[in-house]
Amino acid sequence: MIKVGVVGGTGYTGVELLRLLALHPAVQLEVITSRGEAGTPVADLFPNLRGHIDLDFSEPDPARLAACDLVFFATPNGIAMTMVESLLDAGVKVIDLAADFRLKDPAVWQRWYGMPHACPALLDEAVYGLPEVNRAAIAGARLVANPGCYPTAVQLGFLPLLDAVGADLSGLIADCKSGVSGAGRKAAVGTLLAEASESFKAYGVPGHRHLPEIRQGLETACGQKVGFTFVPHLTPMIRGIHATLYLPLDNPALDLQSLYETRYRDEPFVDVMPAGSHPETRSVRGANQCRLAIHRAPDSNLVVVLSVIDNLVKGAAGQALQNMNLMFGLDESAGLHSIALLP
């Protein structure tokens, strides 16, 4: 059994991670930390976990965490980077669900997250945890940076086109929508029911923190600079991301459907839908799945890709389990066979 610790188990990502870990056949949960809820039974805070998790939340104890085989950080940005080095020195593997190790340049990190990086020496070692791109590197990693939710949906949608003949990489556009759980569990006026319901708005247009992460991933994949515009929106639903992606492609002979089906044929968690499809966020709710559909805009050279994920599963906790499975040589799909919830 893999002895697992979870640092920061009280947010939406944390409880989703605990839900998945509780049912994983190779996991033994050892410690779940929360300074604010220390001493509280996990199942009292999250009654869906009654009968599945009997632990109490506890203060972060370096000795208990160091006794684990793997520690997940489901904490706000800036926490993991202060604790990871000692865990790695103790032989513990780490998966960070926040952004601390996603960006390779510490100056870029500081610009977008407003704080100096606490352990820049580990940035080169950290493996970006998008299995569809870095599967082999993840399998041998000590430290995995779990991707953000928007970056997962956008990169999986764009990747097959990046090397296509005739693709204009100076004009990539990602028009994305997210449910309110993407903002986290903190109390905030903008995510109150009366504020977010029956409304729809863009945010972060001058610059969103996921912008440099997505650009870094796309440029790494194609080996050149890209022109990229990213506009996120808040929608009145709890879970889900819908990314509508645009890329100019002056190659009418290219079989887009075949291109995507070939690229993702062996991927357990990417579903390329039949030509002409329109994937819905509800079709992936609760599942570690990205569903894609590819279109050509009429009378235009634009390719339009539709990409949907559950922001808390394939966009966070589910992808983290996928990475854990790879790091420990397990079946990549272990613990991730849930079918999406309908209605």
Phi, psi (rounded to 5 degrees) for 57: -65, 145
Phi, psi (rounded to 5 degrees) for 239: -120, 155
Residue pair 141/231 in contact (Cβ under 8 Å)? The answer is no
Beta strand segments in the chain, E: 2-7, 27-33, 57-58, 70-73, 93-96, 127-128, 143-145, 172-178, 201-202, 228-234, 241-248, 270-272, 290-296, 302-309
AA letter at 157: G
Cβ-in-10-Å burial (0-12, 13-18, 19+) of 118 comes to middle
Cα-Cα-Cα-Cα dihedral sign, residues 97, 99, 102, 104: negative
CA atoms within 13 A on the CB side of 131: 26
149 is catalytic: yes
Give, as one character, the DSSP assignment of residue 172.
E
Phi, psi (rounded to 5 degrees) for 285: -65, 120
Q: What angle, rounded to 10 degrees, do the helices at 318-327 and 131-139 form? A: 40
AA letter at 321: L
- Residue of 276, 301, 287, 264 whose CA lies nearest to 338: 287
Going across the sheet that includes 241-248, the strands are: 201-202, 228-234, 172-178, 241-248, 302-309, 290-296, 270-272
Euclidean distance between CA atoms 4 and 92, whole angstroms? 10
- Residue of 135, 110, 133, 132 whose CA lies nearest to 123: 110
- Annotated catalytic residue within 68, 119, 149, 290: 149
Phi, psi (rounded to 5 degrees) for 122: -90, -5
Residue pair 78/115 in contact (Cβ under 8 Å)? The answer is yes
Q: Looking at the annotation, which residues are catalytic? A: 149
